[in-house]
A = this chain, B = another copy of it.
């Protein structure tokens, strides 16, 4: 998630819902037996998507058994990685993270190196191309983390702490050596640390998947590229340039964004897109100095009234954006997308209840459908003062902070132009830097528009060959249907890879939704780690067979 996506302790997740993990199969089969079975899988016919084979089930059982047997090692490796502070701005520590990742890749026989641009944390890049692999898939994750407000944490952000459940439920801290968990039940332990979920857990899950395969004597059936970014939480300012500069190296046929959470029902999900993002700070002006509201009220223009009217002209309380042309030419929701939404667990009613909402915006469409539309979100209004601080004054200015969410084919440039045309149509002169008093004297309505750079949505059709192959491979790996989310509501820079490399990009998240990412007490539910290993092992091993 991009850096502006900081909204306190409830960033991504909804409140823990009543959804249960799918009860784990209790089968723990012998590792050797599983390996024998898996060797067959490698030679399974690819072509059209077959039903999950018995071989897939055997691989699943074998990987589970591997995780049970190596639980302590895997946790130690993840904890070591989480013990490295990882702010993108901390050059020294970010370098330690990068070197550690190079080591972890090389220990697994992966050719690894740093992709660098001056002034930015390096991308850790690794490549593993088994002989005869037809295709290569790139796995994206990031190793930097959000800034921490350490005083809000229950334990130090970079001292990983394992607890026997959630803090909210009053969990106790566990100390190593940890007792192994009972594999007949979901592993509800939580590992608390910055980046435990976002986004170091996927890295460790990938590496563990390779270890598990190797332990079985198996190699991936697709080539793998590992791309671990070091400044995602700082807004990926160098990502596009770096991808462009290394386009020849970044030769994968498709990319998987291993960031974000699984479905709030705890079902595995794949996402096929994200919304784009565009930030706007909008300021309108009143008198050059605050005025007594009695003596000047309804003579001196009130910037709060101007702002409320302008903002209301842009977006209704029902969520509808009223800016001319805003919805023009949008790609319609496809029948496949509607089907995917209909098939996903419906948590909307439960979510409304937990949020104390009587009804959502829109006409009752499900959340997953609403986020296929572009949005104008008001994230702040400010001017004058309220409550005990309120003074009888007409303030000098008023400001709204807005984030737009874009969907294909909207671009930041296009939305910017539509918004500016709308603001002008309301009688405003637009400036892009603080206007001087002469400008304010000359124009009854002056609006200062300060735009962020913005970026477009990413979206891959659910029916595309790679999308179908990935879904099938993951369902094989997990042994159950997954949730197909046509788009995340949030924004990650998928578009960079789509635009610069012209290949499909899908989202393959593994961590729990209730992870407090970006906030205090970020945590990883361990069962999500084990399931993640299963997912990556299944993809590495089974994707080729599903990929036409």
A478-499 residues at the B interface, CB under 8 angstroms: 488-491
The interface-forming segment of A159-167, A330-338, A371-379, A535-543 is A371-379
Known: A305-B316, A384-B380, A391-B7. A294 touches B488 (CB 8 A): yes
**Is A386 in contact with B281, judged by CB distance below 8 angstroms?**
yes
Bound CA–CA A358/B438 (angstroms): 9
Residues of B within 8 A of A304 (CB): 311, 378-381, 400
Residues of B within 8 A of A316 (CB): 305, 309
Bound CA–CA A289/B7 (angstroms): 10
What number of A residues sit within 8 Å (CB to CB) of B?
Answer: 98
A393 within 8 A of B: yes
A27 within 8 A of B: no
A11 within 8 A of B: yes
**Is A294 in contact with B381, judged by CB distance below 8 angstroms?**
no
Residues of B within 8 A of A9 (CB): 289
Residues of B within 8 A of A385 (CB): 379-380, 382, 401
Known: A297-B377, A312-B308, A386-B281. A287 touches B357 (CB 8 A): yes
Grouping DSSP codes into helix (H, G, I), strand (E, B) and loop, the A interface class, with mixed when no group exceeds half, is mixed
Residues of B within 8 A of A293 (CB): 7, 375, 377, 379, 403, 405
A455 within 8 A of B: no
A154 within 8 A of B: no
Q: List the B residue with the shortest CB-CB distance to A306.
A: B317
Q: Which residues of A contact B (CB under 8 A)?
A: 1, 4-12, 15, 275, 277, 279, 281, 285-302, 304-312, 315-317, 319, 352-362, 367, 370-371, 373, 375-387, 389-395, 398-401, 403, 405, 437-438, 440-444, 488-491
Among B5, B287, B288, B319, point to the contact of A294 (Cβ < 8 A): B5
Bound CA–CA A313/B15 (angstroms): 34
**Is B387 in contact with A281, judged by CB distance below 8 angstroms?**
yes
22 A–B contacts, CB within 8 A, in A order = A5-B294, A6-B393, A11-B292, A12-B295, A285-B356, A288-B356, A295-B371, A296-B489, A297-B371, A297-B375, A305-B315, A305-B316, A307-B308, A308-B312, A308-B381, A356-B437, A358-B442, A380-B385, A381-B384, A382-B382, A386-B399, A386-B401
Q: List the B residue with the shortest CB-CB distance to A441.
A: B356
Known: A5-B392, A377-B302, A400-B386. A354 touches B288 (CB 8 A): yes
Residues of B within 8 A of A309 (CB): 308, 312, 316-317
Bound CA–CA A299/B403 (angstroms): 15
